[in-house]
Amino acid sequence: MKKLLLTLTVLLSGCGGEVPETQDVAMEPPKNVEMFPPQVVTDVPTPVLNKVGPEDVPLLAQAQVPSTETLSDKDRWTGAAIAAKEAGVNQPQGQADVMQSIQNRIRARAYACNGIAHCVNMEGQYEPTFSNPHGWRNINSPESASRVSGVPVKDILQVDRNLNNPNLKRNAKDHVGCFTDFQGMSQKKYKQSGDVDRGDGHNFFGNFYPNSGYNCK
C-alpha cells in the first residue's frame, strides 16, 4: 500500500499536478479464521459454550469468591456438595480450588451460567451430577446436599466452612488464576503445558477449550 502511494506521488509530482492527501485505510482482518487451534483431549466433556469467539471474550480480573453466607441456599449447598465430590472431603484446599474455578466460569460468559447451581447443573459438565441430575437441581439445604451427594451432613457443613476460609481462598486465587476447567487424577496424562497442579490427590486446572476461559489482566 505504502509503495503504491509513493509511486502515485512521484508520477503526479513529475506531471506538475498537486499531490493529493493520503489517508490510512483500516484493513479488516480476514473472516472465519480459527484463532486458536483446538486442543486434542479425547475424554473430557464438551463445554457448554454460547458461541462466543475468542475475540469476544472480555479481559477481566479474576473472579472474586464471595462468602457462602451471601449466596442463595441453592447456590450455597450445591457449591458445598460439588466441592466435596470433586475435591474430596479431606482436601480443604482442593475444595477452595474447585470453587474458584466455578466462580471463574460464572465470569466467563462463554459458559453462559449465572450462578453456582446453574453452572454445576449444566449438562455434561460435572461428573458427580451425571447419575442424578434431578436430585442435584433440587439441592437447597445441607440435608438435601448430603442426600444427593452421599456426603455426610457434618462434612457438607465443614466444606461450607472451608469455602469461607480466607487462607484457602487466597491460595486458590493464586493457584487457579482465571482457569475455568479441571480434571482429576485419572486424566493427568492429558495435562498440557500451562495447566496447574498441586500434585497427587488434587485436580489439575486449565482452560481446556479454545474459548472456555477468559484472560486475566
In the chain, where the domains are located? 59-206
Residue closest to 195 by CA, chosen among 176, 209, 173: 176
pLDDT score for 49: 47
β 181-183/204-206 pair status: antiparallel
CA dist., res. 93 & res. 19, Å (int) = 69
CA distance 62 to 207: 14
Under 8 Å CB-to-CB from 128, ≥6 apart: which residues?
Answer: 81, 82, 85, 86, 136, 149
Name 96's Cβ contacts closer than 8 Å, sequence gap at least 6. 65, 83, 162, 163, 165, 168, 169, 171, 172
For residue 211, the model assigns a pLDDT of: 60
The predicted pLDDT at position 165 comes to 97
Q: Measured between alpha carbons, how far is 108 from 112 in angstroms, rounded to an integer?
A: 7
pLDDT on residue 119: 96
3-state class (DSSP) for residue 215: strand
Cα–Cα distance measured from residue 48 to residue 32, given in angstroms and rounded to the nearest whole number: 21
Q: What tens-digit pLDDT sequence spans the chain (217 residues)?
A: 444 333 434 444 444 445 445 444 444 444 443 333 333 333 344 444 444 444 444 444 467 888 999 999 999 999 999 999 999 999 999 999 999 999 999 988 788 889 999 999 999 999 999 999 999 999 999 999 999 999 999 999 999 999 999 999 999 999 998 899 999 888 888 888 889 999 988 999 988 876 666 555 4
Q: What are phi and psi of 197, to 5 degrees?
A: -150, 130
